[in-house]
Amino acid sequence: MNRLKTLAVTVTAIAATALAATPAQAAESTCSSTLFGGQFYCGGAYGSGETAVVSLGGDAGVFVIGLDHAVWFRTGSTGWASLGGDMRSKVRITKKTADNTFTIGSTDANNIPWYRDFTPRGWGSYWYTQQKPST
């Protein structure tokens, strides 16, 4: 539990202070994380570029929009993994429950919101818009 708290505090601190871009950005640019490495979009609709999630099956994680416009995800114990998509805004946590289930969201080039769900069993869905796809 202490490892999770330490990682969550570290992710929050890095997201707030360690981005390579200037703090008052009006246009999109690229940033990098000194904690996780890699380059991603920031500024404009991307905000700081990083979205942290604290409770992910016992591990903290971070979401970014990579330079390929896909959503990329990483935890403190894994490498970067692409979740796909063609997004043009910062990843948001749109729903989170006590059982480590949450939904992320971002918008595409046409400003259409897209969502994807995480459950304790992993990424249980593909990207969807307003209606959740039938299984």
Q: What is the C-alpha to C-alpha distance for residues 62 and 134, in angstroms, rounded to an integer?
A: 28
- Which tokens go with 78? 């894994």
For residue 7, what is the DSSP state?
H
CB 127 within 8 A of CB 114: yes
Distance from C-alpha of 12 to C-alpha of 76, rounded to nearest angstrom: 13
Query: Please, are residues 30 and 19 in contact by the beta-carbon 8 Å criterion?
Result: no
Q: What is d(CA 127, CA 100) in angstroms, rounded to the nearest whole number? A: 19
Q: What is the pLDDT of residue 115?
A: 95
- Residues 33-50: tens digit of each pLDDT: 877 888 999 998 998 899
The confidence band for 110, taking pLDDT boundaries of 50, 70 and 90, is very high
In this prediction, residue 97 has a pLDDT band, given cuts at 50, 70 and 90, of confident
Q: Measure Cα distances from 52 to 15, 22, 36, 129, 130 in Å.
A: 8, 20, 12, 22, 24
